């Protein structure tokens, strides 16, 4: 998947959890949770939605690695390269 495709998937997963959140207004280098006022359960649901949309499983131990939009996109790009199928 391309970074643009992944960003669309992230936006969809986010819209499913927090429809009022606007990914377009996010600074991609700053932590997502703080910018979008996501609590830990919201973030977990976003991660689950991303898994459903991309097939990339994100273990809880990797959550600190995906704190920003830039980091999340890079993580998912790498994950889709490794993912079978």
| CATH code for position 78 | 1.10.1200.10
Digit-coded pLDDT (tens) for 1-55: 899 999 999 999 999 999 998 888 999 999 999 999 999 999 999 999 999 999 9
DSSP 84: -
Q: Total structural domains in the chain?
A: 1
Rounded to an integer, the average pLDDT of 54-61 is 94
d(CA 60, CA 62): 5
Given a contact cutoff of 8 angstroms between Cβ atoms, the answer to whether 29 and 71 are in contact is: no
In this structure, what are the phi and psi dihedrals at residue 61, rounded to the nearest 5 degrees?
-60, -20
31 beta partners: 68
78: containing domain: 3-19+28-82
């Amino acid at each position: 998947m391309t970074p643009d495709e992944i960003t669309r998937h992230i936006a969809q997963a986010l819209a499913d959890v927090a429809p009022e959140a606007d990914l377009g207004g996010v600074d991609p280098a700053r932590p997502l949770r703080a910018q979008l006022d996501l609590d830990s359960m919201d973030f977990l649901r976003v991660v689950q939605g991303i898994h459903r949309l991309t097939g990339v499983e994100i273990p809880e131990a990797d959550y600190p690695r995906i704190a920003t939009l830039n980091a999340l996109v890079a993580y998912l790009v790498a994950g889709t390269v490794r993912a079978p199928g």
